[in-house]
A and B are shown apart, each in its own frame.
Chain A
Amino acid sequence: MFAVCAKLCSRVIARFVVILLVTSGSSSAQAHAGREALGPIVQYFQDEVDSPRDYLPEGNLLLKTGIRNHGPFLKDQSADRIVGNFHGRDDELELSLQSYGVKDNMEVGVYFQGEFLGYLPPSPGSVPGDTVIFRLPLSAQTPDYFNTLEFRRRPGSTGQWGVGDVRLLPANPASRRTLFGLPVVTAAEWNQTAVRRVLHALCFGSKVADEQLDLWADMDPVLAVEEMVTADRRNLKLSPHAGDYRLPNRALTMAGFVDHLSSGSASLPIRKADRDLFRDGFRFYNVWPRMQIAWGMNPCRQRIGFWETNYHMAVNLRTAVNFVQLVRYYDLIMDAHADGLRYEQVVAEAALSAAVAEQYQHSLNRWDPVTETFYGNEDFAREIHQLFFGILGEQDPMGPDHHEIVTIKNTARALTDIRVQEDDEGNKTGEVVYGTEFHYPSALPLHILNADITGANARERIEQLAAVAIQHPESLANLPVMIIRGLMDDTLTTDKIDMIRTAWAAMSEKNLLQFIRAYAVSTLFHDKDSVRLATSFDRFLTQVNKLTLNNNEALRLADSLVPEGYREDDVEVFEPSHNVFGAQRPVEAADSGAVFQSGYDYSTRLHAVYERTDCTACANGRSWQRDWTAVIPPGPDGTYRAEDVAVWLWNRFLEDGLHYYDAFSRAHLLALLTSDRDLPLLLAIRQARLDNELPVSLDALLSEPEGEIDLSPYEHILAGLIPAELVDSSAFKLLVDALGETGLALDSNDETERRSANRRVGQAINFILALPFNFASGGHL
C-alpha cells in the first residue's frame, strides 16, 4: 500500500512541491507554451461499462490541467468503477483529485496498477470533498506504457458519485520561481480560486466570463496576471462587451465618460432628463461607480485609480478641489500608469496637478523676490513626503528636527508659484502654469531630503525631488508596504513586510503595476493567513460587478445598485472620510457593526434591489429584463439544476473556492433558489405536518397553504437554531437533496415562471451577500 495524504497534509506538500502540471488538450497545451512539459500522458479515464461520454465533460478528458469544468463528474447509479490510464514516467508522481458524492470514508477505494492506495474522503452531494493527494512511486510505475488508475466503489452503494479536478503532478519539485524576490505560486497552486482572489483584490471582481477565468487558471500565473492587471483604458478580457450597448472609445477616460453620460446620444441607456447633472451636479458622484461596473471598460484601471485618488494621493471634493480638476487628476494618473511611467514620475505628475494644489492650497505659496520672504503653508510640503512617498523624516541622518525645519520648509519653497488657471468665466480649471516670477530663486538650490534640488520652477524641482524621494531609505521601506496594504493585504506580518521591501528595492525602475502583479502571484498573497477586509466600496462594487449582466442594467440602474448602497455607510467617492489620509479603511469597515448592519439590511429589508428582474421603458425608452442564463451554464441536459446553480452562484460572488460552502449554506441556498419558502419555514411546516400525520413530500411542503396548520408551536425552528437531531436526520438530507435536484425555470417560455426563477436567483444572491465571507476574503494555500 502506498502512502495516502489527505487535505490536512496536502497543504504541507504544496508548500515544497513545485509542480508543473501535466497538460493535455490543445487549449491547455497552448496556455502552457514555453513551460517544461512532462511528456506524453494518455489523458482519459475509461469506463469499462459505459462510454466515457456518459460522465466526462466534452467526451474524454479528465486528466487535464485546469480542466474547464471542475465537476461534478458524476457516474450514474449503476456504475461502481472509474478507470483511467496514463503513460508511466521516469519520476515519482502525485495524483491530486476531489471526490463527489462519496458517503463514507470506506466507500470508494483508489487503486494504482491494481494496488490499493487508500480511500476517498466523504463528500456530500455535488459539493467537492477536500483535495486529496496520493503518491505514485516510481517503482510502481511502468515507464512509457499504460499505467492504470482505478476508483472502485463498494458494491451495493447507491447514489451518484464521481471524481473531479484530477491532476498528475511531479512529486519532486524544482526550485520555486521568484519575481523580484517574491516566491511565485506554482501551477498547482494557481487555479480558479487564485484567479478570483486576484480579481477580487485588484479589479473589484471584474466582469470576467467563466471561460476566461478558466483560461487564466490554466495559464502561467505570471502571464495571466499581466493580462488581468493593466491600466489600459479597455480590457475586454476582464470586461467584455455585453448586451446591445457598447461604450465608444472616447468614453473610456473619466473626462470622456462624463462627456458621454452627459451627451444627447440616442442609444445611451440613460434617460435624457437625468444626464445634465453628471457633469457637475450631484450625479457626478455616480459617474465613477458607473465606470467601474460598465461592461467594456477596465475595472482594474478603475480600482487602481480609486486607490490612487481616494487613498494614496487623496483629494477631496469637499475642499477647494472642483469636479473638473478631479477628473483631470484621475485621468492624468491612470494614463501615466497605462503609459508605463516610473512610479516617481506618476507621483510627480499627481503632485504637480491642479487638484493637489487646490487641495492643499499651496497654489497660494509664493516667494516675494523683493523682501525675499516665503508666504504660504507647509501642508503639502509635509504630505508629499509622508503620504506620496512614505517619508516621515524619522531616519533623517541629521536628526528628526532636520526634516521639520529644513526638508519641509524647503519643500514649501519648491512648491511656490503654481498657478491654477481659470476659464473665461473665472472658474478654476485643471490646467496649471508653473511660474518663475514668484518661485524660489532658480539660482539657489533647495536642500531637501539631504539633496540639493534645483530648478527654475515648481515642476522642475518636484520632478527632481521625486527622483530623490523614491530612492530615500524611508520611502523604500514604507511605500511598498503602503501599496500592498492599501490594495491587497490586511495581514502584513514582519516577514511579509521584509519580503515586500526587498522586492520593491529589487526593482531597478519602480513600477506600480509590475509590483502589484508580482505580489498578486506570490505565495504571500495566496497564503491562507492572508486576509483582505472589504471596505463598503469594495463590497458594493464587487457584488454589483457580478450582478449586472449588461450595460442597459449597469448604466441605468447603477445609482440604486452601488452608490446608494455605500452611502448608507456614510462614505462617498472622492470625498474621503479621512480627507487626504484616505477614505474608509478596510479595518474600519470590518470593525463597524453599522457597516455590517447596512450590508445585512441590503440583503433583507432592501432585498428587492438585487431581486429586480425587469423594468419597462426604464433605460431611455427601452425595457430591460434580467436573464441569468446569459452567464449561468446549463447542465449537460440543458436544464438548470438547483444544486449546480447554487454552487455556481457561491463561486461567482465569493472567492473561497467553496471552502465555506457547508451543509447549512447549501440547504439555505437551495431552499431560496427553488421556492418562496425558506429553509426554517420548510422545516417548521414539515415538522407540523408530521405531528399532524400529514404527508411530508417536497411538493406537500411547498404547496401547504397559509393557515392550514398552526406553526406557532414551531417557532423555535423558525427563529434561529435548527435542532441538531433534525439536521442530522436522513429526512433533512433527503429534503435538501430533493431541493438540489429541482430544476430552475430560468429559460422557461412562460414569462411568469422565468421571472420568478430569475428573482429567486436574486434571492439566493442576497443570502450569500449577507454572509461573513462577503465582508472579507482570504488566501487558501
Chain B
Amino acid sequence: MNRRDFLLTSLAATLLPGARSAWADCISGGQPLNQPLLAWLMLPGGPDFRHILPPAFHSQVDTVGHQYWQHRYRSHGIGDNPLAWEQRWQQDFDHRASAHGVNFGIHHHAGWLRDRWDAGQVAIICNIEGSTSRDHELSLRIMDQGNLETTAEDTERSGWGGRLAQVAGGNCVSLTTVPRVFCYGMPPGGDINQVDKSNLISLRDSRKPGLFDWDRGGDLRSDSADRLARSLESWYANTRALDSIQSDSPFHRFMESERKLREFGAKVSAVTEQCPIPPELEALYTIDILPNQPNPLLNNIGFGRQLRNLYDAILVNQDLSMQVCSLEYGGWDSHQKQKQFMEGNILDIFGTGRGLDMLWRNLNSSDRQNLILVVGGEFGRQLKDNGGGGTDHGRGNIILVIGEQVQGGVYGDMFPEAELARYGDPSPDIEGLTAFDHVFGQVADKVATGSGSQVFPLRNSRPIEMPGLLNNLFVS
C-alpha cells in the first residue's frame, strides 16, 4: 500500500468519533509507553490563564465574580457594563464548578481541555509562585531551571526536566526548535546549580532525525555528497577514538551532537520510516491533508511539528530512554489585543480537533495512561487589564497538570477573596502561595519514585498554600 492509499483508507476510521487510531499500531516496532512520561509544555510570555478560566459572572459588586469582569472587560474585548460581562460569560464559556463549589468557566476554544476536565484528568493548581520577578528573561530561566534561587547571572544551571530524566536513569528529549534549559541535566553528584547535557536529546524533526549518510550500496566513486559524508564520518569516528577533543573542550558538545544524531537518528528512522505520520497530526502543520478543515489546522505550525515529534518519540521511547520531553508554544505576552492573540493560541493548543486533541486521538491506551502533560508559563498577569486591551506582568499564576493518572480538580483557592482588597493597589497581581517545587516535585515523584527531593532539594522549605495540598495530585 502506498502512502497516499494508506492515508485515505485510514482517514475514515480516525475521523470517527471515539475511534481508536490505527496509526499507533502501524508497526510492530512501536514501543508503547509503559511508565510515566512527563511532557512539559512551556508557554513563554506569561499566559493569562484566568482569561480562559475566569470566575463566573456575579451581579453583586463586592464579589470576585463581579470585580474580575469589571477590571477585565477591555482584555475580553467587551463593553464596560455588567450586561456585556454576563453576556460574554454566558456565550463564550462552558460553566464548571470545583469540588469545593467554586464556579468558573472554560473558554469554548479549549474544548479538549474541557473534555479532559470532565473526565477528571485536569488538575488546575492555583496561586503558584513561579518567579520572584516580573521579568520574562529571569522568570523563564527560573521556571525552566525549576530553581527559585536563580538570579539574572545564573545562565548555566540545570533544568528540572534534565534533572528528573537523569535521576530516572533516562533522557530528556527536546522536541522544540532549540532545546530549552529545562532539559539540561546536572553533573554527577547532584549539584543542581551546575550543568551536564549528556542526557539531552535534541529532536527537532523526528522525520529527519539523523545525519546525511552515504549510499553504502551505491557507486563509491562518483558522488560528492557521499565522499563528504564518508570523510566526515571517518573524521568524527577517528577523532573520537583518539579522544583528542576531550569533554572539557568547547567543541566536545558538537562531537556529542554528531554521536547522538548518528546513534538516535538511526533508531528513530528505523521506526518512523515504516510508520507514516497520522493525517490528523500532519494536518496540524501541513496543508491539504484533511478535507473541510482549516488549512493547516494550527496557526502555529511549529507547535504542530512538535506534537508530531512527540508522537514519533513515543513510538521509540524505549530506544530514546525518554523519561521527560519538552515542548513550547510562545506568544503569551498579552500587553495588548489579549483576546485576539490569547484565544487563538488556546484554540491551537486546547481546541477540539486541534493540537493536543489530535495527539491524544492518536495515542494508544498505554500511551495515554502514562503521559503526564504539565503546562505553565513563567508568570501570570495583573488582576486588572490595561488601557490597551491587554494585561501587564504579574507574578502568581496557574499550572495545569493533565493526564489519565491525574486526580482532576482545583488545587488551592482559585479566586481568593483577599484579592478584592487589592484591586485598588497599583499593579495588583495574583499572590504566589505555593512554590512550583511542590507541583513539579509531585510530578517528579510520579515519573520516578522518590526523585522529587533530588530534583527539588529545597522543596520542603518552600511555601505551600496548605499542608498536603498536592498529596493526592495523582491517582494512587
List residues of chain A with CB under 8 Å of any chain B CB. Answer: 360-361, 364-365, 374-379, 382, 386, 392, 394, 400, 404-405, 408-409, 478, 481, 491, 497, 531, 533, 569-570, 577-579, 581, 584, 587-597, 600-601, 603-605, 607-608, 611, 660, 662, 664-665, 668, 671-672, 676-681, 706, 711, 715, 718-722, 724, 727, 763, 766-767, 770-773, 775-776, 778
Contact = CB atoms under 8 A, between A and B. Distances in A.
B335 A593 contact: no
Contacts of B83: none
Given A405-B427, A679-B231, A719-B216, A531 B137 contact: no
A511 to B, nearest CB: 24
Q: Which of B174, B179, B222, B250 has the most CB of A within 10 A?
A: B250
Q: Which of B202, B204, B257 has the most CB of A within 10 A?
A: B257
Nearest to A778: B250
A436 to B, nearest CB: 19
A374 B235 CA distance: 64
Contacts of A660: 251
Given A361-B388, A591-B197, A662-B244, A767 B228 contact: yes
B472 interface: no
Contact of B251 (A491, A605, A724, A775): A775
A404 B379 CA distance: 15
Interface of B: 44, 133-138, 152-153, 155-156, 174, 177-179, 184, 197, 200-205, 208, 210-212, 216, 219-222, 224-225, 227-235, 237-239, 241-242, 244-245, 250-255, 257-258, 260-261, 302, 330, 333, 335-336, 386-388, 390, 392-393, 425-427
Contact of A379 (B233, B333, B427): B333
Given A605-B212, A720-B233, A776-B251, A594 B177 contact: yes
A646 to B, nearest CB: 13
B33 to A, nearest CB: 23
Contacts of B177: 569-570, 577, 592, 594
B235 A665 contact: yes
Contacts of A668: 231, 234-235
A611 B225 CA distance: 11
A593 B152 CA distance: 26
B152 A680 contact: no
A584 B178 contact: yes
B250 A533 contact: yes
A665 B239 CA distance: 9
A766 B156 CA distance: 32
Given A394-B133, A404-B134, A589 B234 contact: no
7 contacts: A375-B388, A392-B133, A588-B178, A593-B201, A680-B231, A706-B219, A706-B222
Contacts of B153: 481, 497
Given A604-B225, A607-B224, A721-B237, A591 B231 contact: no
A715 B252 CA distance: 27
A531 B235 contact: no
B417 to A, nearest CB: 22
A193 to B, nearest CB: 16
B165 to A, nearest CB: 15
Nearest to A478: B152
A592 B225 contact: no
A531 B252 CA distance: 12
Is chain A's binding surface mostly helix, strand, loop or mixed? helix
B178 A600 contact: no
Interface pairs A-B: 6 shortest CB-CB: A375-B387, A593-B202, A594-B204, A772-B254, A772-B251, A720-B237
A776 B234 contact: no
A605 B225 contact: yes
Given A596-B257, A600-B211, A680-B234, 8 more contacts: A392-B135, A594-B205, A660-B251, A706-B220, A718-B230, A719-B216, A721-B237, A763-B227
B250 A531 contact: yes
A382 B134 contact: yes
Contacts of A719: 216, 230, 233
B221 A676 contact: yes
Given A374-B387, A600-B211, A773 B231 contact: no
Contacts of A592: 174, 177-179, 202, 204, 257
B138 A377 contact: no
B257 A593 contact: yes
B250 A763 contact: no
Nearest to B133: A392
A125 B71 CA distance: 77
Nearest to A385: B135
A579 B332 CA distance: 11
A33 B155 CA distance: 44
Contact of A604 (B155, B228, B330, B388): B228
A778 B211 CA distance: 26
B138 to A, nearest CB: 7
A597 B241 CA distance: 21
A678 B228 CA distance: 7
Contacts of B336: 361, 364, 377, 379
Contact of A597 (B135, B156, B184, B261): B261
Contacts of A531: 250
B138 A392 contact: yes
A406 B233 CA distance: 59
Given A392-B152, A394-B133, A773-B251, A676 B227 contact: yes
Contacts of A718: 216, 220, 230
Contact of A377 (B133, B201, B242, B392): B392
B386 A672 contact: no
Contacts of A386: 135, 137
A184 B135 CA distance: 36
A238 B458 CA distance: 54
Contact of B392 (A375, A379, A608, A676): A379
B392 A607 contact: no
A721 B241 contact: yes
Nearest to A664: B238
A671 B234 CA distance: 13
Nearest to B217: A712
Contacts of A607: 224-225, 228
B239 A763 contact: no
A721 B242 CA distance: 10
Contacts of B133: 392, 394, 400
Nearest to B202: A593
B394 to A, nearest CB: 10
Nearest to A361: B336
Q: Which of B221, B234, B245, B335 has the most CB of A within 10 A?
A: B234
Contacts of A405: 425-427
A591 B195 CA distance: 12
A640 B342 CA distance: 62
Nearest to A711: B220
Contacts of B244: 662
Q: Which of A379, A590, A604, A611 has the most CB of B within 10 A?
A: A604
Nearest to A600: B211
A364 B389 CA distance: 11
B254 A678 contact: no
Contacts of A400: 133
Contacts of A715: 216
A600 B235 CA distance: 13
Contacts of A671: 231
A590 B253 contact: yes
A772 B255 contact: yes
A569 B136 CA distance: 24
A607 B202 CA distance: 24
B386 A377 contact: yes
Contacts of B197: 591
B234 A720 contact: yes
A93 B73 CA distance: 80
Contacts of A767: 228, 231-232, 235
A361 B228 CA distance: 50
Q: Which of B232, B237, B254 has the most CB of A within 10 A?
A: B254
A603 B232 contact: yes
A596 B221 contact: no
